[in-house]
Amino acid sequence: MNLSFGLVKTAADEAADALLAREARWLRSLEEVPELDDQVPRVLEEGTNPAGRRYIVISMYPARGETRAFTTDHARFLASLGKARFRATDFDVTETSAWLQRSIAEARGFAPEGVLRTLEACYELCETALLYWTGPYVLAQGDFAPWNIRNLGSQLFVTDWGQARAEASPLDDVLHYLMIQRALCLRPVTVPVLRQAMRRAADFAVQAYPEWSWRPPVIGALTLVYLLGVVLQRALALRRFDRADRVSGPYFKLLQKRSAWMPI
């Protein structure tokens, strides 16, 4: 399958410089994964423009229709991606755990005390719930959403890898796909909606990683990891906690209501 054209992405500021650098590193790394051939862009060129801003040129397909449903094609892609960078370990030694701790510490510089208490309590609950569970932590795309995915028959082509990260929860991309489109479209992100997303994520985990135990408390804890991560990521980007944010607001409410959806 031949790609149709090259897309030039140019950073507008320092933060975007870092994002493009991350994207280029991950895309070059993924070139070595045969299971992802023709499913992720290739870096054709990268450099700095006369204004000092970073740019990359990546291979792309023409725009195709997108689907809002999480299909077997999405599950197949994420299973292949997970195997590209895989580590079976305990939560407290993962990069995800370390990032959450660093981010909460950084948020102390601007988040209200009540918000901080909720964030810290949620992290402690993740750590406690996953204390005796060893499982797979994988490469996550980081913004797995319909607008970053082109459907090419039964194969996907996934763009925008600036948020990719290693040692992520294997549920992150599934939950993000199911939840983020509702939040950004101002549709309700409620406890019943989250429970439905958790069931779909659990089905994916059982199929993609059948060697591990996926008891309800594990699914609940990894869902908490996802929600906490998104709230922190958006807060750190703004350097403030914004309850009116279309994502942070409803996600934070779910953190506050964790006793209503987290299995004991």
Phi, psi for 175 (deg, rounded to 5): -60, -40
Count CB neighbours of 257 within 10 A.
13
Write down the pLDDT at residue 4: 56
Burial of residue 168 (CB within 10 Å: 0-12, 13-18, 19+) is buried
CA distances from 25 to 14, 19, 32, 182, 197 (A): 17, 10, 12, 30, 31
Percent of the chain with pLDDT over 70: 97
Write down the pLDDT at residue 3: 47
CA distances from 264 to 120, 125, 167, 237, 258 (A): 19, 11, 25, 33, 11
Percent of the chain with pLDDT over 90: 90
Write down the pLDDT at residue 153: 79
* Interacting residues of 148 by C-beta distance below 8 A, sequence separation 6+: 141, 158, 159, 160
User: Comparing 60-69, 109-118, 161-170, 250-259, which segment has the lowest mean pLDDT?
Assistant: 60-69
- Digit-coded pLDDT (tens) for 84-143: 999 999 999 999 999 999 999 999 999 999 999 999 999 999 999 999 999 999 999 999
Write down the pLDDT at residue 1: 47
Write down the pLDDT at residue 65: 67
For range 243-253, the mean pLDDT: 96
- Digit-coded pLDDT (tens) for 218-237: 999 999 999 999 999 999 99
- Digit-coded pLDDT (tens) for 137-179: 999 999 999 999 998 877 899 999 999 999 999 999 999 999 9
Residue 64 binned pLDDT confidence (cut-offs 50, 70, 90): low
* Interacting residues of 10 by C-beta distance below 8 A, sequence separation 6+: 49, 53, 54, 55
Residue type at position 20: L
Q: How far apart, in Å, do the first and last CA atoms of the chain sit?
A: 48
Is pLDDT of 54 > 90? yes
Which among 139, 135, 96, 138 is positioned nearest to 213, based on CA atoms?
135
CA distances from 194 to 33, 50, 188 (A): 32, 47, 10
Pairing of strands 149-152, 86-90: unpaired
Is pLDDT of 215 > 90? yes
Give the residue carrying structure tokens 């990891």. 225
Write down the pLDDT at residue 60: 87
Q: How far apart are CA 17 and CA 53, in angstroms?
A: 7
100 and 115 Cβ atoms separated by less than 8 Å = no
Residue 66 binned pLDDT confidence (cut-offs 50, 70, 90): confident
Is pLDDT of 255 > 80? yes
